[in-house]
Amino acid sequence: MPEVSRFETVKLPILTLGLTDDVWGNPRATAKMMSYYENAQVETRWLSPEEGRAEKIGHLGFFRSRFAQTLWPQFIGWLLEGRPVNMGKVV
């Protein structure tokens, strides 16, 4: 597949965030997308609305400021310092 031919060149760690109420980024779609990164260490975490203390998160909801105190902190360390994620469900 030409559109994913360069994915194999990625060798950096990848943290994938899945949202249990995301109809597009469901487990099957997420696994398929991440399978193209065959030379990268991929870690997938699934978050539920309950973890965000909300009724729903949705496809892009993680980026809404209302989750700044509930969902974001557990991933800031990974982004800034490469520290492991200690929260969320590992898949």
In tens, the pLDDT along 61-79 reads 999 999 999 999 888 888 8
Q: Residue 12's closest CA among 85, 60, 82, 89?
A: 82
Looking at the predicted structure, is the pLDDT value of residue 91 above 60?
no
47 and 57 in contact (C-beta within 8 Å)?
yes
pTM for the predicted model, two decimal places: 0.79
Between residues 77 and 91, which one has the greater pLDDT? 77
pLDDT band at 54 (very low <50, low <70, confident <90, very high): very high
Q: How would residue 4 be classed by pLDDT, with cut points 50, 70 and 90?
A: confident
Domain count, the chain: 1
Domain that holds residue 85: 2-90
